[in-house]
Each structure stands twice: as C-alpha cells, then as structure tokens.
A and B are shown apart, each in its own frame.
Chain A
Amino acid sequence: MSQAAETLTEYHDLDGAEMLRVSDLHAFYGESHILHGVDFDVKRGELVTLLGRNGAGRSTTLKSIMNMVGHRTGSIVINGNETLGMKPHRIPRLGIGYCPEERGIFASLDVEENLLLPPTVRSGGMGIDEIYAMFPNLYERRHSQGTRLSGGEQQMLAMARILRTGARLLLLDEITEGLAPVIVQTLGEVLVKLKERGMTIVLVEQNFRFAAPLADRHFVMEHGRIIEEISAAELPSRREHLNSLLGV
C-alpha cells in the first residue's frame, strides 16, 4: 500500500491524565432503573475492561456515556468536561468513538461510505491509507454494500470508521462476539497497535481470555454497579475470584 501507511498516528499527549470519570451514575430506560450508581475512571492511554455476566449493565454504561439511554443522573466527566447535560451529538465531539454491540453497519451505504460516514471530531485521526493498511480486507471490499460483509469484516469496519475521526477515547462493546478465533486474534493485534499509539480504550467483553493480556485494569459489573476493580498486576492472584464473579 502507499507511503502514508508508514506514518503512524500517535496520541501520547498527556498520558496518565484523567480521560473519563463516571461517578454515581444511574440510568433508566423509561421506568426501568438499570444502572445503580456506577463509579469508575479511565486514564489517558489506558485500556480498561468492563466485565460481567449478561445483563450486568455494561452496554448500558457505554450508552449512558454517549447519552443514548432515557434518563441519567450522577456525573460523567470526559476530558474535564461534565457531559450529563450535553446533547447526544455534542459528546462524540469531545473526542469519543463508539462502537455499538450490534455494530451498526449501514445497509444503505457501501463499505467506503460507512468508513467515511462519521464526521471528524478531532484533528489527527488516521488517514484512509493507514486504515486500509490496518484492515486490508476492507480495502478489497470497499465497494460492497456494508451489510454484505462477513461478521468479522463488519466488526472491523465498525472499528475502522471511528479511527478516522480523530477520537482519542474508544468505547468498544463486545467486539469479539460471535467471531472466528483468527479474527479475534486480528482484533487483538489491532488493539495492541492502538494502545501503543496512546489511544484510551474502554472494552466491554465476555471473552476474558481475549481481554486479559490487553488490559491495564478490569472493572467487574453486576446488577448495574461496579463490584470489583482488579489491576493487571493483581490478576494472577485473583484469577479464581474473578472467575467466580463472572461465573466461568
């Protein structure tokens, strides 16, 4: 591919400063009270996971950050900005890229249109050549209808399109769900590359074996709360405890 693929986009400004702080977050879908006081924080350049059984409230936490649920109370500070009162379309402009659990590939757009769709939120996003170098399959299939891609390719497209926007904080919901091991491995390599470049990542995962080697910290959710925080260093000694929490 072209020269541009050689130039890597880096995001190492202000490593270690606070990127996201969620405090006492409650969230509702209509009458149903789903999140009951979620607290966690993410530093710049960190990769943290939200683990938990199905229905624990991990997807709802990401959606709440994007202001995509009904009603919310508490506090969500992104990059020093309180976002609880912000309109949904303003939040990504703080430099956030969101990859939904259902992937959200648009059927009425071809692959390249899907890729170019999200508006730039910050300068310094990856160039299209750099993205195609990272996901060669997408380049091959750039003129196909978005939803004609395989599940793995759709997942890569859903990831790729938020890398273009200059987002520094990625919220990724179950990106390995239902994918073949070889594709899961590719996604793992992509995350390692993104992390090396200084991207901050919140990863919602079921596949703990995928998440474990990548993450700096793990947050375990249950019944709409964070019930446990485990750092990468503590992981070996607390593995069994974690397994019992996740029911694996």
Chain B
Amino acid sequence: MTMIFGVPLMVFMGQLMLGLINGAFYALLSLGLAVIFGLLKIVNFAHGAMYMLGAFATLLGFQYLGLNYWVALLLVPLVVGGLGMVIERLILRRIAHLDHLYGLLLTFGLALIFEGTLINFFGVSGSSYPTPAALQGGMNLGFMFLPTYRAWVLVAALVVCLGTWFVIERTRLGAYLRAGTENPALMQAFGVNVPQLITLTYGFGVALAAFAGVLAAPLYPVSPTMGSSLLIVVFAVVVIGGMGSILGAVITGLAMGLIEGLTKVYYPEAANTVIFLVMILVLLLRPAGLFGKEA
C-alpha cells in the first residue's frame, strides 16, 4: 500500500477531501462576511444563524412541504436572503450612522434570538436530511473513494465563489460595489442609490450563507446550534485572510480546511485548534491578514 509520511494514501486523501469540504464551507461563509463587511462595515455575527436557517429551512421544507433538495437549493437562499434584506432595511439601517461596533452587537443579538427560538421548538439535537437521490453513492478513484455528494458540494461551492468573484471584480454592478465600499457619499453624488445597494448586498451575503446551509443539510446534523460553532472558525479564517479581499476569503477558506484536514492525519489532537494557532501567528506577523491591505 502506498504510504505518505507513514500514513496510508487512502486515509491521507480521505482526510484531505474532508478538509477540502470544510474549507468549501469556510470559503462560502467568509466570502459572504467579506462582501457584507465591504459595504456595511459590519462584522455580521448573524452569519452563522443565517447558515443555520438555510439548513433548517431545507429540512422543514422537506418534512412539511415536501420540497426537494434542488428546489430548496434555489428557493432557500432567496427566502433567507429576503429575510436578510428585511433585517437590514428595518433594523441595521437605523444604527448605520453609529459606531460599527453596535452593528456587531446587534447582529450577535439577532443570532441568539434565532438560535434560541429554534432551540425552543426543536431542541439542540440534530436531525438528518437525506442525501438527494441523484447524488447518492460515490466513485472509486483508485487511491480513494469519493462520495458523490461531497464532490458536488465542492464543485457547487467553488462555482458560486468564483461567480461571486467574477461579478464583483469584472462587472459594472461589481464596480458599483467596490466604489461604494470606498466612497459611498460620492457614489450618491453620481446618482447611485447607495442605501438600496446596501440592502441588496446584505441580502446577497446572507443568501450565500443560506446556500451553504442547504449544501450542509445532507452532510451534517441539522440543529439550531450548527451555525454558531461553525462561525467561530469562520471568523478565525476571516482574520487570517484579512477583511475586504474577495479572492482572499475564498483561498484562505479552502487553505484552512486543508490545513485542518492535514492536522487530522498527522496530529489529530490539534485538529480543532490548528486554525486558531494560525490566526495567532498571522495576527502577530501580519495583523491586516494575508490578503488584507495594511491600513
């Protein structure tokens, strides 16, 4: 059997694959955080709750309405993104003129409310959601067994991340976003409705989190606390990558997933902490983050 530094190839590749899947979720979530932070300057602590709502909506839609996975994949980001827009319009906008710390506190409070409400109705134990029929099974690649659903998650997350990057860096709408991030007052003086742009941006960032939630439903137990535990790691990823870089968020997310996977192979005890160790190192050596602009 082929060995990699004393570890069977199958095990090595399997852990790398798991790491990459986690990395795909980190990437999707930190991308949404970066998009929101760019224009709103708010660290969106409700992001994990939105991811959780995405997964829950998928589960409940299936249990009560019989919505299948593919419909959920389209519908849930729209609905949860819409909820995000309502939150921005009715709540966040009212405190937009205050120190951005208040936005952080407020979104943190919202996250607790969503989580607490769902715990009240469904408890903390997770439910499982069936893998969609078309994505069951897997393929033997010779050096490893690749479950179809995991391959799908990786592809879908990458396509959405790259699509988002393309829209922001290469289109006119993206130019509005970048310019609005730099100088919103001047954008208004050009006739751009910046408040509307902000609402749409928040909605889009939230929709990305909900999309990740739908992807996660068949993989992880769907529970009201699934978002908050993930979000802490995602924040570490964001600190490592640096706020404000779209591509940086995606690359750092994937890389941290891989590092986590590798640590699981060689030193499993540290697997849950390795990202935070990297975070501390980055904070000491390059406080603005790997892709952040030094202020």
Contact = CB atoms under 8 A, between A and B. Distances in A.
Contacts of B201: none
B135 interface: no
A89 B191 contact: yes
Contacts of A119: 190-192
B52 interface: no
Q: Chain B's interface: helix, strand, loop or mixed, by majority? A: helix
B159 interface: no
Interface in A113-139: 113, 116-119, 121
B188 A108 contact: no
Nearest to B183: A104
A93 B189 CA distance: 9
A106 B190 contact: no
A187 B182 CA distance: 27
A142 to B, nearest CB: 14
Interface string B14-32: 0000000000000000000
Contacts of A68: 185, 188-189
Give the residue among A89, A90, A100, A107 with the most B Cβ atoms within 10 A: A89
B74 interface: no
B144 interface: no
Contacts of B194: 89
Interface stretch (B2-10, B147-155, B170-178, B255-263): B170-178
Give the residue among B172, B179, B185, B191 with the most A Cβ atoms within 10 A: B191
A66 B186 CA distance: 10
A92 interface: yes
B175 A92 contact: no
B127 interface: no
A89 B192 contact: yes
A109 B191 CA distance: 18
Contact of A118 (B178, B181, B191): B191
Nearest to B293: A107
Contact of B190 (A87, A92, A107): A92
Contacts of A107: 182
A165 B182 CA distance: 21
B188 A116 contact: no
B186 A89 contact: no
17 contacts: A66-B189, A88-B188, A88-B189, A89-B193, A91-B189, A92-B191, A93-B191, A100-B189, A104-B186, A107-B182, A108-B178, A108-B181, A108-B182, A109-B178, A117-B179, A118-B190, A118-B191
Given A66-B189, A98-B189, A108-B178, 14 more contacts: A68-B189, A87-B193, A88-B185, A88-B188, A89-B188, A90-B191, A91-B191, A92-B189, A100-B189, A104-B183, A106-B182, A108-B179, A113-B175, A165-B190
Interface of A: 66, 68, 87-93, 98, 100, 104, 106-109, 113, 116-119, 121, 162, 165
